[in-house]
Every structure is written in C-alpha cells, then in structure tokens.
A and B are shown apart, each in its own frame.
Chain A
C-alpha cells in the first residue's frame, strides 16, 4: 500500500543522504521525496511516499526515528489529509491549437509561465498526483517537449499542526 510520511529533521549537513541511504540500505521503496527548510531555518520538512505492508511501514517509521537528526515522523496516510504535487511542462504550441491548449490550462487551474505562441509554452499545474497524471496525458497530443514534477507534499486536515513541540 502507498503511504505518505512526513518528517521533521534538523536542517544539517548530510541529513538527506541519511534518509535516502536508510531506504537503500534496508531495501525499502521510496517513490518520491520532497524536502525544504521552513521559516525556522534549523528545521527541514520532508514528505516521502513509499510502498509496503503495515509491518514494513512500521519499521520505516522506527528506522527514520532512529536517525539522530530526525525530530519527528508521522504517517499521514491513515489520517484525513491533503496532498499536492506540482508539474512544470513545456509543450509545443502553434496558433492552430492555442485555444485548445489554453482551455486545458484553465480547466486544470494551471498557469502559463512562458508563452511563445508559435513555438512552445511552459505551463505549471499544482494538484493531486492522479490529476497531474491526467494532465500529462491530456497534453500528450500537443507534443510534450519536456516535463518535470515534484512528489506530493502532504499535510493533515484539522486545526492541529505537525511541529516541533
């Protein structure tokens, strides 16, 4: 089963390698990993997506907690939560298909970042993972020149926050 795990870590040298190394050393899957420091620059927040049965996920959480710079770990998959990823895509453009393309961008709440109507456009979308998949599929006929996307970021719903106590 797919699990989304959020992690607060000390924002220090090598911490990303420790987390990534843990997954490779113990043979766990890692589908996506996002990490960036927050307002308090001493802390980074990670969202990682992994797959495994309950036993494996339990071990992953324990092993993450065992890493010295890891402050807090939470598997948000079982809680009501939100996930959003971002997609940047460069597509071929020509005046014949321009309206169609812009309509697609509007439908998915995207944004045109770079507009060369007779050559190409760079588009940005932020949405759930499966919607981003659908967008890529819908853009395919226009001709995708290149694409890049993030793994999802995740957050629990509700008034409480995932913070260092």
Chain B
C-alpha cells in the first residue's frame, strides 16, 4: 500500500499501540496534523506550549508504564521541547518525540522556523534521527520506540522534514527490530548473582537502596520487597524510587539523601553492605562522596553499565534489568535455602530503631495560626488514603511531598528528579490524569513553579480533567530562599515576587474551580470540598503556608550524609 510520510507515521503509531499523543501544530507538521485529523486510532491532546507536550508525555508514560508520544513543529516548536527532552533523559522516561523540520532542500539555509534540531537535542535525548528518505521512516519510527522503551529508557526524537511527510512510498512494516549496535543486557551474570547472594547472606549491617529503576521495570517492586524481607534488610528509596516499597512497610527507612530521613542516611553511612537497585548515586543522594557508605561493600544492579562505578565504586556490579536480576537473586536465595545472619541483624535493627526514634520528619503544627506545608501534605494523604497519583513541581513543596505523603505503590509519585524542572507539575499531572482517568491525581506545586507552565490550565479545562492542584503558597521561591537564608546570610536576592497573581481568579478565568485557605481550622474542610468538585473541572487550592518554613532534615551541599542538620 502506498502512503505518504504523514500517513506512515499515523500507521506506525497505530501498530506501536499508541493511544495518546500530546502536541502542538505548526507549518512543518501540517501534513501530519492533516493525517491525524483523518484517523481515529489514537487521541491527540492539544497542549498550550511544547514544553507542556513533553512533560505531559512524561506524566502519561510514568503513570501508565507505556511510552509517551509528543509531536511538535520545527524551529521554536522543537526548541521549546528541549527542556522536556532533557528532563526525560535525566529521569529515564520513555518518550518518542516527533518534530517537524523545514523541507529537506531548505535545511541549512536558515529558513523560516528552521533550527538544527538534531544538533540541539543530541545531548538531550537517548538518541535522535533525521529522516532523509520517506522509505526509511517506518524503520526509524520502529527503532525510535525500541530505543526509547528498552534498556535504560529515555527520550528519542525523530526529526521529519516537511517534504518527507508529503512524499509517498510503499509502506512496509518492519516486523522485528534488530540493531547490531544496540543490544541491552537483560539478565544478570549468573556468577555475579551467586557472589551477590553470598555477600547478602553474610552481611551484618545491610541496606538496600533503590531508585527509579524500580518504576521502569514493571513488577519489580514486589520483588524488591521480597528481597528486603528475605534478607531482613532495611530499604531506603531515592526521590525517583519512592513507592518502590510501601511507606508503612516495617523495613522501609524513608528517602535518603539531601532531604532524606535521619535513619536512612545514618544507616547508609554505617552499613557494611549497600545493595543499589536501579539507582545511580546522584550527588543529591550521596553528599560528599568520600564519606558515602565508607565501610560498605557495594553491589550495584543497573541496566545501564555507565551508571555503575561512575560516582561510587561498585565492588560487585550486576548489569541487567532490575526485575529479572531481583528474580534471579531470590531464586538463588531459595535454591540455597539461604538465611541471613539474624543475630547480627538483630543488633543492626536495634541501632536502626534508635535512629528512627529521632523522628527527623517531626514538625509542630500550632492549632491556631498559619498552616505548615507539611500538614497540607499529610492531610491530603489522609483524604486520598495514600492512594493518589502525586505529581509535583520543583522546590520545597516537592521535598515535603516526598517526605510526608507516604506512597503505597510504585509509579504514584511523578516528579522531576534529575533535571529539577520547575514547570513540570501541571503538564505532567494532566498527562497522568489522561493515562489514568479513574485515578485521583493531585499536583503539589509552589507559587513560583506553577507560573512556569501555567498555560496548561487551559488544556486541563479543554479536556475536562479533574486534577486537584494544591499550591503551597509561601510567596517565595522557597528553596532558593532557604539556601539564601542558610548560605547567603538571608540576602533574599530575587527569590520573591512583588506581585503574585490572584490564583483563585486565575483558576476561574481558565475555567476551573479556585479555592483559598489560610487558617489551619479551615484546611480540612477546604481540601474535602476540593476533592468533591464535580469531576469535570480542575480544582486549584491556594494554600497560604508559613512563609519561612525550611525543609529539614538537610545535608548541606558537599557535606557527608551523617552531617545532617535536623532543624
């Protein structure tokens, strides 16, 4: 069958099982939009800015476990998408982004809306393609999805010149993708598995440290929990790994790192075995490298070999998909009928209990007066029974959400961890709501973050997405202000707004429901009311919180994990 490039794109998306794409039309993609108009295999959601398209695709991908898809036009459409691509790269989110390009003959001529998109996005994607012949398009799309979703997932961009979308050729669907240069390892080396189990069973002070890899390997969270119980080892999660273990599991220590719990950071600092599972020893996790887990033998399980021994030397590397490797480890433990060293572990748990008793996330909420931001997060947990899909922007509210929400399941905490992209929340939240229409989506944001992609309220209105947005409004760029207070003698250089919009009116102007609350006594009723709105409109709750609250505990940048500031 003879198809145009645009029709091939539509046909390939159908065959890849795509049901949702996020995009914004423009000159170079008009042919593609025309083909989209004529089909009913997938639904296109119109965002209000291309950055929103990429973050929405990210929220969609991370909530559903499927590949996110975005479509943007050439030039500014594609450059606007760059932040979203870089965000997805840092957080290993599978996305395929199609960008229009000026016609092949004009490339390099500084044509209208031309940008060297393959050049610009090279370091912001896992891989990218410029399509040079319409005959190559189907295979490139197939490879793009394959690359985005396998190994360590990530964003892939396909740049399609306008003439390619118009040109016609015989459509051939490549049944299989086989790339000699790209063959990710999936199973762990059996010898390494044996060695790892031996070390695990003889450990006296083990800690399991798991990250976003657990989110990407669907079904691995259950195995992670099994392993921690089989080894009777405590588990800590990274920001990206929250939900990997239920927050109320007896073996869970909370998050580690810069704003991690005292027990998590102390346990890592004193352990004799650290088992890293799908985590990458980010600087926000390790603090000062020389003092990170100084006495530990490190076992590192990751699908990306370049993450292993990059920051922290792994004594025992295991390259593979974390789900498969966790399965192999459990099998090996069962085969040996392996038992951990319970006598030593009893002492270790005694020590952990002492650290837990410090209660490092404790805060005082006065009964009268201003609302503490932590209180809001805890109330929302209670009202949603810890079962919401929680999406955040970046800053203090993000850390409070991570510390205080309490996640039961994986893929329920969508946040910009690696790149730290303010503006992620609103579009990612709408993407998550589209992926999971029957689930409750709550977006925690700040008065600064929300203004970075606020135009996406219009998208929420258009598609009747019943997202609940909660602004922890302290009238500051809270995290910037906190650092200025701590490290720049409280010189609050440009970390506040002299003019904040009226968020309630703004929500109403965008077609949603706006609410405001500034007293503790009214908080519960307001939140309840927000969750009871009709289910057809977004709700924005502007919560005035104590203005100069700091996120604690905190490991100052460059300090060791055991040098935490508790309050």
Contacts and interface: CB of A to CB of B under 8 A. Distances in A.
Interface in A46-91: 55, 58-59, 62-63, 65-66, 68-71
B306 A65 contact: yes
A37 B122 CA distance: 23
Contact of A59 (B119, B123, B126, B306): B306
**How many A residues touch the partner, as a band?**
20 to 34
Interface string B164-197: 0000000000000001111000000000000000
B119 A17 contact: yes
B309 interface: yes
B127 interface: yes
A13 B130 contact: yes
Contacts of A65: 305-306
Nearest to A22: B123
A44 B518 CA distance: 65
B87 interface: no
A2 interface: no
Contact of B181 (A9, A59, A63): A9
B310 interface: yes
A64 B305 CA distance: 11
A149 B305 CA distance: 35
Interface in B4-54: none
Contacts of B147: 68
B330 interface: no
B132 interface: yes
B304 A66 contact: yes
A159 interface: no
Nearest to A24: B123
Contacts of A68: 126-127, 147, 179, 181-182
A68 B306 CA distance: 13
Contacts of A21: 122-123
A71 B178 CA distance: 13
Interface in A26-58: 55, 58
Contact of A70 (B126, B181, B308, B309): B181
A71 B180 contact: yes
Nearest to B151: A66
Interface string B373-387: 000000000000000
A68 B147 CA distance: 8
Given A9-B181, A14-B122, A62-B308, 17 more contacts: A10-B181, A13-B132, A17-B122, A18-B122, A21-B122, A55-B309, A59-B306, A62-B305, A62-B310, A65-B305, A65-B306, A66-B304, A66-B305, A68-B147, A68-B182, A71-B180, A164-B180
7 contacts: A17-B119, A21-B123, A58-B309, A63-B306, A65-B306, A66-B306, A71-B180
Interface of B: 118-119, 122-123, 126-127, 130, 132, 147, 179-182, 304-306, 308-310
Interface of A: 9-10, 13-14, 17-18, 21, 25, 55, 58-59, 62-63, 65-66, 68-71, 164
What 4 pairs across the A-B complex have the smallest Cβ distances? Answer: A62-B306, A68-B127, A71-B181, A66-B306
